[in-house]
Chain A
Amino acid sequence: MQPDLTTRVLSDPKYHELKQKRTRFGLWLTLAMLVVYYGFILLVAFDKPFLATPIAGGVTTIGMPLGLGVIVFTIVITAIYVRRANGEYDELSEQIAQGALK
């Protein structure tokens, strides 16, 4: 990339907005994923009886919906990021590119 193109993008406030917003959003979601997964693992490590508690008098335990919940959460949180990045952030990124390449 030509140096002046970089300078032009760097002087665009929208670029800094994009960078800050998207990085922050990504890091928050990363944190959420870490908390959910390692929360689950720590629960398995330290409170097995809780996960093995039956729900509503049947044999199905709390652990089952919780474990499947982690799988669903993983997919949903990915979808949330992709939706926002492919919509809002890509629009911003498009504007920056147009501004810089003019």
Chain B
Amino acid sequence: MSRSLLRAVLAGAAALAVVELARAAGADLGQAEKQPTNWTAIGMFAAFVVGTLFITKWAARRTKSAADFYTAGGGITGFQNGLAIAGDYMSAASFLGISAAVMVGGFDGLIYSIGFLVGWPIVTFLLAERLRNLGKFTFADVAAFRFDQTPMRVFAASGTLVVVAFYLIAQMVGAGQLIKLLFGLEYWIAVVIVGALMMVYVLFGGMTATTWVQIIKAGLLLAGATFMALMVLWNFGFSPEAMFAKAVEVKTGLARAGGMTPEKAVQQGVSIMGPGGFIKDPISAISFGMALMFGTAGLPHILMRFFTVPNAKQARKSVLWATTWIGYFYVLTFIIGFGAITFVLTDPQFLDVKGALLGGGNMAAVHLAKAVGGNVFLGFISAVAFATILAVVAGLTLSGASAVSHDIYATVLKKGRADSASELKVSRVTTVVLGFIAVLLGIAFEKQNIAFMVSLAFAIAASANFPVLLMSVLWKDCTTKGAVIGGFLGLISSVALTIVSPAVWEATLGNPKGSALFPYASPALFSMAIGFIGIWLFSVLDRSRRAAEDRSGFAAQQVRSETGIGAATAAAH
């Protein structure tokens, strides 16, 4: 075998290792086994549903205009919005997946969760206040501020819908698997329940109901995770060292029982305390890190949340709260993962004959819930996990609906002359359509390997939405042509490179190992560069009359983005 071929194979293997962990920690909850029907969990979830439906009823009375529907009238406080953002961002996959990844790989799980956190300061420093000062309902309002509306809105709506679609598929399939697992319901029933409830929240309660569902869910998830982490630490006299020591001992014992020599077993046990197989090839590591970091700053359903607060001050406060809660949450999942090693892997009631977790690898946190809090707490955590998916799916759908009704219908088709009532009607019709599509996709993808979908959503957001947004607010010479061409290049290249990467080309499409054209785990390093260079190149080459207009509009845009003078008071109808 030639040297370069060997290198390519090694790189591919490394990339696969990253993808494997991403799978464990990310979107795909795997093929779950159906569990016996869990009535405690179903009862608690029913209580959550009844509560949130009352909120939706209350919210529906306050949802009269398009502004109410998209932004809850702009009346959410920074603290509330921070919790809602956290609720939007902390998915069931990250709660169950990251704690499972920590249980399997220890330190490697921490590396993964850090990637999801570090995008938030970037959002704060570069985008939060500018978004709030320039935008009204969607991030396209900001990106298209001084540009030719039609092409920019078409681009932004495409970017939004593509990201939402991949994210949504991951959530729907995750929901089906999880509910089969936790509640003992059939897969398709679970998917239909999620689709139907989400439609009710969004359709009647718009952003107000979605926000409160997210806030309540974030509160429940944080409270439940805090209780679990405290119970774990309490068992070790609040000494992390004691917890780590026990975990190493358990892992060593398991390796020994698996037939390893004593020295090997000790090595295996200690390996959870340091970096392992997660990052072998630096290019994949950096590329994956970039997708997570800058993808956060380009997720349409997250960006949309900045328009729900009254001003830039509250927008900044909301990211600070969101960052704090999300960071705290990742510390909790880390403790929960180690707790799972010491309490779950040592307890035969959670293991099958081969020593694997009952119900699949992602059950770590769920079994731990039973171990530290008994059956009732197990039901609580299961219900919270379901609520979590609902909240995320509702936020995604609202964002997709706003791209269609506000960007495409009101701005492109009606040239900005649509009245609030007809825009609202289009949003609601779109919500119903998206709900049906989500359910169908969820069912269609049941048996598919969807491991790559969340990281693909982040990579697209980082390569298409983020560069366009950043360049349009910060670079004077950016033009319509540059932003649209560069944005589409970023979008297409991130999708194309993902398709020819090992995760899709080999793992999903079933081509032979080593045949993937693109060897790395994430396209972001390359597709982001393509996006930025595209925007720059086609802007500087642009000598059209429109380009002159675009450039001359920068001063006024900057005045508004920096000072907030003239910013939409989202409450104005």
Contact = CB atoms under 8 A, between A and B. Distances in A.
Given A3-B556, A44-B279, A77 B117 contact: no
A38 B559 CA distance: 33
Interface in A64-82: 64, 67-68, 70-72, 74-75, 77-79, 81-82
B550 to A, nearest CB: 16
A71 B114 contact: yes
Interface in B542-567: 555-556, 558-560, 562-566
Contacts of B334: 68
Contacts of B118: 33, 37, 70, 74
B279 A1 contact: no
Size class of the B contact interface (CB-based, 8 Å): 35 or more
B289 interface: yes
Interface in A8-67: 9-10, 15, 18-19, 22, 26-27, 29-30, 33, 37-38, 40-42, 44-46, 48-49, 51-52, 54, 58-61, 63-64, 67
Contacts of B248: 59
B313 interface: yes
B324 interface: yes
B240 A1 contact: no
B316 interface: yes
Contacts of A78: 120-121, 124, 319-320, 323-324
A27 to B, nearest CB: 8
Size class of the A contact interface (CB-based, 8 Å): 35 or more
A30 B281 CA distance: 25
A27 B280 CA distance: 30
B114 A86 contact: no
Interface in B93-122: 107, 110-111, 114, 117-118, 120-122
Interface stretch (B201-209, B269-277, B355-363, B528-536): B269-277
A88 interface: no
Nearest to A14: B563
Nearest to B565: A97
B449 to A, nearest CB: 26
Contacts, number: 164
Chain A interface helix/strand/loop/mixed: helix
B323 A51 contact: no
Interface string B296-331: 000000000000000011001101100110010011
A30 B330 CA distance: 22
B89 to A, nearest CB: 14
A29 B275 contact: no
B188 interface: no
Interface string B115-146: 00110111011100100000000000000000
A82 B319 CA distance: 9
A48 B292 CA distance: 22
Given A37-B289, A82-B320, A85-B316, A71 B327 contact: yes
Contacts of A59: 241, 244-245, 248, 270, 273
B560 A1 contact: yes
A10 B563 CA distance: 11
Contacts of B281: 45
Contacts of A9: 559, 563, 565
Contacts of A71: 114, 117, 327, 330-331
A48 B274 contact: yes
Given A60-B244, A82-B319, A82-B320, A74 B278 contact: no
B111 A100 contact: no
B316 A82 contact: yes
Given A30-B122, A52-B275, A18 B563 contact: yes
A52 B118 CA distance: 22
B555 A6 contact: yes
Given A45-B285, A63-B275, A100-B565, 6 more contacts: A18-B562, A30-B121, A51-B107, A59-B273, A70-B118, A85-B129
Interface of A: 1, 3, 5-6, 9-10, 15, 18-19, 22, 26-27, 29-30, 33, 37-38, 40-42, 44-46, 48-49, 51-52, 54, 58-61, 63-64, 67-68, 70-72, 74-75, 77-79, 81-82, 85-86, 90, 93, 96-97, 100-101
17 contacts: A1-B559, A41-B279, A41-B285, A54-B273, A58-B244, A59-B241, A61-B274, A64-B107, A68-B334, A70-B114, A71-B327, A75-B324, A78-B124, A79-B320, A82-B319, A90-B313, A96-B565
